[in-house]
Amino acid sequence: MRQLRDLGGGSFALEVEGPIPATLPGQFFMLRTERRWPVQLPRPFSLYDCADDGSWGSFLLKVVGEGTRALCDLRPGEGVVLNGPLGQPFPADVDDPVCIAGGVGLAPFLLLARQRARAGERTRLLFGGRNRAALAGIDDFEGVAEVFASTDDGSHGHHGLVTSLLDDLLARSVVKPGETVFCCGPDPMMHAVAKVCEQRGLRCFLSLETYMACGYGVCNGCTVEVQGPRFKGWPYSRTCMEGPVYETCELTELQRH
Amino acid sequence: MLSTTLGPLSLHNPVLSASGTFGSGWEGRQFSDLGRVGGLVSKTVTCKPRPGNPPPRIVETPSGMLNSIGLENKGVDYFVAETLPRMRQIAADGRAAHGAAPRLVINIGGESIDEFVQLAARFSAEGVDALEVNLSCPNVQEGKLLFSTDPRLTEAAVRAVKKVATVPVFAKLSPNVTDVVSIAKAAEQGGADGVTAINTLIGMKIDWRKGRPVIARGIGGLSGPAIRPVAVRMVYEIARAVRIPILAAGGARSAEDVLEFVCAGASAVEIGTAMFTDPALMVTIVDDLTRLLTAHRTSIAALRGTAQAGQDARAAAPACKPAEATR
């Protein structure tokens, strides 16, 4: 660990020394502290940022329990154990994705925006939160992505939920039907975005967060109910292996609603 | 120094993966040299495919975790066609690199004695190194009695499996019983070559805000260091009562823990929940065991069951000096 950058709103960027292996946006790492890890299982985090040469990387995290607390309590020089990259990334064949984030669901999009910017491609990011403080990390996207923010209390950007921001951008043709959305955030927000996408004719991929034990495909604990040809008739999928990114039409729970 | 035997089965060291915590080994092969572990125990294989239980299936608890996976697996046909060849590849790689290979133990699960028999015959024909008979998964009960909660059912199931099996058979026991020793004895009576002790302890975690259990199915199996003292006690008690070897399981995550189980009477130890935390852990433990045993000039064989003798001596000795006792 080399630095813990306070992003406000209880969120931090945990920066670690490399080498960070080549990682695609949406892939994740299992993290734990090398010493004094107070819990049993490592915790999954998307790679937030990374040096071009992999000499350092960072993870976006928020203290929610003992594990994340221990990671945020690390001092520079102390060890972090990383296992990754794991899982499947956002599809690479989408030309100009519309990224929608909530809270620490912002994590996979900085890497995505950076890799696209390097290739001379733009990235649109819709980022929603309760208030300005909840938009932790938004400044990191300056010059990397076109950012459209929304806050529930109107303290920054669009006044309302990120779904109403999406409606607004559709009305202004900043986002057009037929485009593809990449979304990561709290479940209720992802479900709402999925619904708007379905109604307005956008393809939508969600990066899910589930309870995970191993992260490398052996515990079968992180499964979600799925459908579609990718799963060959099997009703469950391990988010750590075939996920965490799924197209909304693959998620049985969303199709029931 | 590290070598051990489980009845007819010899292992180059006493460290194995616990069923359901390391897949078939294939998923974890990138993290360490699996040719160096004593054995790989497969996730439970059933006759027919089992999709498993609805999510959420796991939750972390103090010093452990609860799971209710429900034996998700694609069935024996798929396993023999796709998974077993991969396990054999790991063993072949181990033999090529070290001249020793991890033993391949297939854990089988049946809903009836007939299913256990079918699976035992199938895997005997495949020539695997041993079978571990899962008489004790707490997450698939479906209103039926578990085999390993009843001595007669345990004995009958083991006897039927032994009749067709041409490889060593280990009966995996449940700790969720009044008297685990009577079940272990029943397995021995049925002809088991050894017992695995223990499976998970049933438990529950409730989210009071939602007013419901965290795990969708409600009850789950508790594993991890939280259950280690229970497992050590059960291994110790079983070791006093049976002649067949014991494969210990229950919260071991270090070489010290392995030696604790060996001292209690185990011949080998399965590493389970800790594999989720560190996929290279088994090899680390093998290295640490070598260091510890070298430093203490001892061996697995020499340490096995030493706690039993120590306790016998203590029990035999008078609790206090006769002079004091008569005062």
- Residues of B within 8 A of A214 (CB-CB) are 275-276, 279
A219/B20 CB distance under 8 A: yes
Q: B195 and B172 in contact (C-beta within 8 Å)?
A: yes
> So what's the pLDDT on residue B143?
46
Q: Render pLDDT for B83-105 as a digit per residue (tens, 0 to 9).
A: 999 999 999 999 999 888 999 99
∠ CA A225-A230-A232, nearest 5°, is 80
* Spatial separation of the C-alpha atoms in residues B279 and B36, rounded to whole Å: 14
pLDDT along chain A (257 residues), means of 10: 92 94 96 94 96 95 93 95 96 95 95 94 95 94 96 95 96 95 96 96 96 95 96 96 97 83
> So what's the pLDDT on residue B318?
58
Helices (H), A105-156: 107-118
Give DSSP secondary structure letters for B168-224.
-EEEEPPS-SS-HHHHHHHHHHTT-SEEEE--PEEE--EETTTTEESSTTS-EEEES
The alpha-carbon gap from B52 to the nearest alpha carbon of chain A, in Å, equals 8
Nearest CA in chain B to A240: B27
* Spatial separation of the C-alpha atoms in residues B270 and B16, rounded to whole Å: 5
Residue B57 forms contact with A (CB below 8 Å): yes
Predicted complex ipTM = 0.91
Residue B166 forms contact with A (CB below 8 Å): no
* Spatial separation of the C-alpha atoms in residues A169 and A93, rounded to whole Å: 23
Please tell me the CATH superfamily of domain B4-43+71-200+224-316, with its number: Aldolase class I (3.20.20.70)
Q: How many Cβ pairs within 8 Å bridge chains A and B?
A: 85
> So what's the pLDDT on residue B146?
80
> So what's the pLDDT on residue B99?
87
- Told to judge if B137 belongs to the known catalytic residues of this protein, a careful annotator would answer yes
> So what's the pLDDT on residue A34?
94
Interface test with A, best of B207, B276, B281 (most A CBs within 10 A): B276
> So what's the pLDDT on residue A204?
97
Residues of chain B with pLDDT under 70: 138-145, 310, 315-327
Domain residue limits, chain B: 4-43+71-200+224-316
For B22, the token pair is 């390391």
Interface test with A, best of B21, B46, B58 (most A CBs within 10 A): B58
Q: Render pLDDT for B26-53 as a digit per residue (tens, 0 to 9).
A: 999 999 999 999 999 999 999 999 999 9
> So what's the pLDDT on residue B326?
42
